[in-house]
Amino acid sequence: MKKLTLTAMAISLSISLFAQEKADQPTLQKIRQEGLENSKIMDIAFQITDVAGPRLSNSPGLKRAQDWAVQQFTSWGLKNVHLEAWGEFGRGWQIDKYYAATTLPYYHAIIGAPKAWTPSTKGPIKSEVILIKADTITDLAPYKGKLAGKIVLFDQVTLQPLAPSYKPDVVRYSDSTLNKMAEAEIQPQGQRSPRAGAANNMMAQMMKMRATRAAMASFMKDEQVGMILSYARGSYGTFFTSNGAPYALNATPVSPELEISAEDYLHILRLLRAGQKVEMEADIRTSFYDQDPQGYNVIAEIPGTDRKLKEEVVMIGGHYDSWHSATGATDNAAGAAVMMEAMRILKTIDFKPKRTIRIALWSSEEQGLFGSRGYVAKHFGDPKTMVLTKDQKKISAYYNLDNGTGAIRGIYAQGNTAAAPIFKEWLSPFQDLGATTVTLSNTGGTDHLAFDALGIPGFQFIQDPMDYNTRTHHSNQDTFDRLAEEDLKRAATIVATFVAHTAERKDQIPRKELPKAPEAPKK
């Protein structure tokens, strides 16, 4: 009974919305029915994660996922389906085999993964673990000539024992938190700029630290160490991964490096500090791929049908690449699957938009939004000079999803005061799905920033945090099992509705003031 009441309320609320935005009531009902009752979201997510596997930039896994997406879009009847190069990325990389365990004082399998873009061991190795006590390159002098083929671990004096966590892993936004977001005002830019001296001092320290690490890595390579063990952030068997070497084609070679769970690292460190002998065995095989260093995005469209508006575009997207220690389910197969499902919904209900609807599955977001920034630079202009193309005026809006598996609770208006009330209207039919909040706040770190930088309305949806930051983001736990099916169904339904509205509006989404080109540094 409650479900029927909420649905009736949602449909009633939507009548005023569709009247003002000139969209038809049957479209909303079709989208809701297809998205909530006939969803294919988990089938899509399964293909991206379990079938394609990890999708590190330019890896075979990403290539498999991209080829599948092209085939899937084509089978759905989308048009202009293609892989589009955005520029040179560099080498791809993948793990072919990983095994590591302590064998003394007793056998224990190690939780970990090779750091991205690090090489293989020289076949299976077995070694005493050597504890390196060094803060500077000069501290390494006593170890010269003693490390060939050895497994080494650095004595990080700042490491603290793991503490119990009394907070739940999985959380949803409370009403009070969403209310605060809705009440947020646009923050003036540059009010709290750091003092130049402090910033310069911090930069100098970072550069010194980076130089020290590079010198130590060079020393280890020259000494031909068998493998380096490094501490991975995380706890309870979860570890958050990273890259251990550059991906550039001309990158300097490094030593094999294994990133291991905090529990395993601290276990070995305690034994070595106590003078106990520790032995390990390991076998790591990794492969590099440099035959095609170009990066690619997957592009597909539902063409517009209005004679005057079909040249204009509504874009949606999410990044398709992931890290390598799991299958990138919440980061960001979830967002990519939602956007693909939104396109499937619109195509299935035979929605014929006035404006063209275009989806992009970005690559190399994890290394710096490279896929979206490369696409935007190619099609819309250069944010460094603010020299814009004619197509920059033809795109109405870009909608992004990249904050995990959590339900959509609203949208970040990104300081766009004119767009905010429009979005409030569009969310009104989804009170029964918990999506009501529009905040003027900005959010960073996702591909919508590439569009926003060129004055194109670019937006990221507000999502429930779930266990994104506590358990899955860039971790070995980011697998299909962490996906919340009902949340993803609702997200795809809401996205499809936003896309339909934007495609049908008489006018484009209002724009903020065009950003100014950055000032050239003073000489």
Q: Please report, in tens digits, the pLDDT of each residue of the chain (523 residues total).
A: 444 444 444 444 444 444 455 556 889 999 999 999 999 999 999 999 999 999 999 999 999 999 999 999 999 999 999 999 999 999 999 999 999 999 999 999 999 999 999 999 999 999 999 999 998 899 999 999 999 999 999 998 788 889 998 999 999 999 999 999 999 987 654 333 344 445 566 667 667 777 888 899 999 999 999 999 999 999 999 999 989 999 999 999 999 999 999 999 999 999 999 999 999 999 999 999 999 999 999 999 999 999 999 999 999 999 999 999 999 999 999 999 999 999 999 999 999 999 999 999 999 999 999 999 999 999 999 999 999 999 999 999 999 999 999 999 999 999 999 999 999 999 999 999 999 999 999 999 999 999 999 999 999 999 999 999 999 999 999 999 999 999 999 999 999 999 999 999 999 999 999 999 888 766 6
Question: For residues 314 and 357, what is the distance between their CA atoms, to the nearest angstrom?
Answer: 5
Nearest to 353, CA basis, from 211, 499, 472: 499
Residue 413's φ and ψ, nearest 5 degrees, are -80, -5
Beta strands in 44-197 (DSSP E): 79-88, 92-104, 108-109, 112-114, 125-132, 151-154
Question: For residues 291 and 288, what is the distance between their CA atoms, to the nearest angstrom?
Answer: 9
Question: For residues 343 and 211, what is the distance between their CA atoms, to the nearest angstrom?
Answer: 47
Tokens at 272, concatenated: 């070595």
Nearest to 65, CA basis, from 50, 52, 51, 84: 52
DSSP letter at 117 equals T
The 3 state secondary structure assigned to 350-370 is CCCCCCEEEEEEECCCCCCCH
Question: For residues 296 and 58, what is the distance between their CA atoms, to the nearest angstrom?
Answer: 8
Instruction: Name the burial class of residue 253, with classes exposed (0-12), middle (13-18) and buried (19+) by CB atoms within 10 angstroms of its CB.
Output: exposed
Place of tokens 């072919």: 96
State residue 521's pLDDT score.
67
SS3 431: helix
| Vertex 435: Cα angle to 434 and 437 (nearest 5) | 120
Q: Are strands 257-260 and 112-114 parallel, antiparallel or unpaired?
A: antiparallel
Question: For residues 143 and 468, what is the distance between their CA atoms, to the nearest angstrom?
Answer: 41
State residue 203's pLDDT score.
64
Where does CATH 3.40.630.10 sit in the chain? 2-89+293-504
Question: For residues 100 and 109, what is the distance between their CA atoms, to the nearest angstrom?
Answer: 6
The angle, 0 to 180 degrees and rounded to 10, between the axes of the packed helices 60-76 and 334-348 is 10
CATH fit for domain 93-161+209-288, picks 3.40.50.920, 3.40.190.10, 3.50.30.30, 3.40.140.10: 3.50.30.30
Tokens at 316, concatenated: 């949606």
State residue 204's pLDDT score.
72
- Check the CA dihedral 8-9-12-17 and report its sign: negative
Where does CATH 3.50.30.30 sit in the chain? 93-161+209-288
Question: For residues 184 and 129, what is the distance between their CA atoms, to the nearest angstrom?
Answer: 53
State residue 523's pLDDT score.
60
Cis peptide before 38 (omega within 30 of 0): no
* Domain covering 2-89+293-504, topology: Aminopeptidase (3.40.630)
Distances (CA, A) of 92 to 38, 60, 288: 37, 8, 6
Distances (CA, A) of 70 to 83, 337, 414: 8, 13, 31
Cis peptide before 54 (omega within 30 of 0): no
Question: For residues 220 and 144, what is the distance between their CA atoms, to the nearest angstrom?
Answer: 9
Distances (CA, A) of 284 to 135, 241, 362: 28, 16, 30
Residue 302's φ and ψ, nearest 5 degrees, are -110, 110
Q: Are strands 458-463 and 395-400 parallel, antiparallel or unpaired?
A: parallel
State residue 21's pLDDT score.
53
